[in-house]
Amino acid sequence: MASLRKPNGDGVDYFEAEENDYGVINVITAIGKTISLQVKGLDTISSIKFKIEAQEDVPCRQQKLIFNEMLLQDDDILGNFCIKKGSTLKLMRNSKGFMHIFIKTPDCGRWLRPRTLSLEVEPSDTIGSVKTKMKCVVDVLIFNEIVLDDTDTLADLNIINGSTLTSMVKYVISMQIFVSFNSRKTITLLVNPTDTITKLKSMIELLEGVPVNEQVLIFNKVVLRDTGTLSDFHINRKSTLTLMRRSRKSKEPMKIFFKTLTGETVSKIIKPSDTVDRIKTLIQYKVQIPHHEQELIFNEMVLDNNGTLASYNINNKSTLTVMRVSG
């Protein structure tokens, strides 16, 4: 497996998915207490939770471990993340499991009548995930006269079982944007700044018949994440997006070149059986873009992580473009 240690000799040590790769990880609890655990790169998140339970008497089923604002899943392996030895994970307690909160919606005319929703949530749920569970148009949630940020959790905001939140919808004006198909065709869409990229892709599928899961939208040299909105990416009236189609095939080994958007080109010897996911790991320090922030493009197609060079007909001395995915 490829090493996650930086090759620049700065002494930074990362966990690797290897049996005898040991190190210390710190865990900060909800009350601010920090504990240190002796772990190894092959440990699963589930096994780390057992270690925490042994020290802190917090049942595994009530634990949520977070690193860099990412919720770690029980079957994940520590060494598969770019986690430095000595790093700190955040421990959140799942309380007693699910709880119910209430959300009052406003009267917005014929398309949204006032009502009170009851939602089953977890203390670790973010405000963004609560909005998703509502399954209706909502821009802002308010609690105790405070507008809530999408990245905060219910536990962070002291929202408990039986709490009532208020939702509000921003008044927005439709605007025209353009979507270019590889510079050969351009279509016009009427959208709102609060529309998500997923909604935009659905509109394109209806107009052009390109399946949502095969679409990759690019703006200002950045691949747009499905959950982001047009306003998140500063897409304004008459902006032009580029549409690329995601391929599912590949082929061949040898020397492969990788060109970044800064104009730099690096090379790497790759096996034809290597997956795109593995290639991203192999080149992340050469291109100075973390694995999870990369998109690889070949022949104007964004490559799927599960595909191999062989399945994409990528041959010796082929050049792939490396793009950074928006955060």
How does pLDDT run along the chain (327 residues), one tens digit per residue? 333 344 444 556 888 888 788 999 999 987 788 999 999 988 999 999 999 988 887 878 778 888 887 888 888 888 888 888 999 998 887 655 567 899 988 765 444 457 788 887 888 889 988 888 876 667 789 999 899 998 898 988 989 888 999 988 665 567 899 999 866 789 999 888 888 999 999 889 888 888 888 889 999 888 999 999 998 999 998 999 999 887 544 444 678 999 988 888 999 988 888 889 999 999 998 888 898 889 999 887 888 888 888 777 788 888 999 988 865
31: domain range?
A: 22-93
- Are residues 89 and 109 located together in one domain of the fold? no
Q: What pLDDT, on a 0 to 100 scale, did the predictor assign at position 156? A: 86
Sign of the alpha-carbon dihedral angle for 131, 137, 143, 149: positive
Taking 3-state DSSP, the helix, strand and coil percentages for the chain, each rounded to the nearest 5, stand at 20, 35, 45
In the sheet where 175-181 sits, what is the strand order? Answer: 185-191, 175-181, 240-245, 215-219, 222-223
As given in the structure block, the two tokens for residue 105 are: 């919606």
Residue 39 near residue 23 (C-beta atoms within 8 A): yes
Last residue of a domain, one of 117, 137, 168: 168
- Are residues 223 and 259 located together in one domain of the fold? no
Q: Which of 206, 203, 201, 205 is nearest to 218 (CA)?
A: 201
Q: What pLDDT, on a 0 to 100 scale, did the predictor assign at position 217? A: 92
Q: What pLDDT, on a 0 to 100 scale, did the predictor assign at position 285? A: 87
- Are residues 140 and 161 located together in one domain of the fold? yes
Last residue of a domain, one of 141, 168, 195: 168
Instruction: Please give the model's pTM, rounded to 2 decimal places.
Output: 0.31
Total domains, the chain: 4
Look-up of token digits 């995601």 = 246
DSSP letter (8 states) at residue 145:
T
In the sheet where 22-28 sits, what is the strand order? Answer: 34-40, 22-28, 88-93, 63-67, 70-71
Asked, for residue 17, whether it belongs to a domain, the answer is no
Asked, for residue 13, whether it belongs to a domain, the answer is no
Last residue of a domain, one of 93, 116, 135: 93
Asked, for residue 9, whether it belongs to a domain, the answer is no
- Are residues 238 and 287 located together in one domain of the fold? no
Q: Please report, for the domain that includes residue 271, its CATH number.
A: 3.10.20.90
- Are residues 241 and 259 located together in one domain of the fold? no
